[in-house]
Amino acid sequence: MAKYSTEFKMKVVKEYLESNISYKSLSDKYCIPSESVIKSWVNAYKSQGYEGLKVKRQNTQYTLEYKLNVVNLYLTGEMSYQSLANELKINNPSIIARWVNDFREKGIEGLKPKKRGRPSKMPKLPKKSTYIKIDSSENLTNSENNSLTEAQLKEKIKKLEEKNYWLQLENDAIKKR
């Protein structure tokens, strides 16, 4: 549950806008720990209206293209994080600052979504395969079979039968273990 309801935020914002009360005196009056909280509420209300004060139940997921466009807007323009956030209806301007820093450090890779949660402690074992890889040159299509002579086909079949024999021996040895 949110610490402050939307109605309470609206009350404090209206009081600030309609009277000559400072952020500090409002924070003291309503026992809000920091005046910056009220500043952000007022800013959200000015830029987005009542919707800016609503408690969001889910985190907003931004696409890579959207993040890249916002970073480009910041880097090429003369706008601050706050003014850009107001224009794009992003509640928290520090999100844009984080995107810009990630972009400066890692490039586009820094803007891609990151894995969440604790990494697994289980070791990743390589998949054991009992199959022997057969050369792709041995896989012949029908058009290639037509161009081979009968002697070449017999030789190819003989090689494949020999390989099959060894694979069957290997398979039997594995089964006995």
pLDDT band at 147; cut points 50, 70, 90: low
Give domain limits for the chain.
6-53, 64-111, 136-176
Find all residues with CB under 8 Å of 108, minimum gap 6, and list them: 64, 68
User: Between residues 72 and 145, which one has the greater pLDDT?
Assistant: 72
pLDDT tens digits along 5-64:
888 888 999 988 888 888 888 988 888 888 888 888 888 888 778 877 877 767 788 899
Distance in angstroms (rounded) separating the CA atoms of residues 129 and 102: 41
pLDDT at 1: 41
This prediction's pTM: 0.51
pLDDT tens digits along 92-145:
788 999 999 999 999 888 888 888 888 888 887 776 655 555 555 555 555 555
Return the number of other C-beta atoms located less than 10 Å from residue 67's C-beta: 22
Distance in angstroms (rounded) separating the CA atoms of residues 42 and 26: 12
Report the pLDDT averaged over residues 84-92. Answer: 82
Q: Residue 104 burial by CB count (10 A; 0-12/13-18/19+): exposed, middle or buried?
A: exposed
Asked whether residue 146 carries a pLDDT value surpassing 70, the answer given is no
Asked whether residue 65 carries a pLDDT value surpassing 60, the answer given is yes
Residue from 57, 19, 10 nearest 38 by CA? 10
Distance in angstroms (rounded) separating the CA atoms of residues 153 and 98: 65
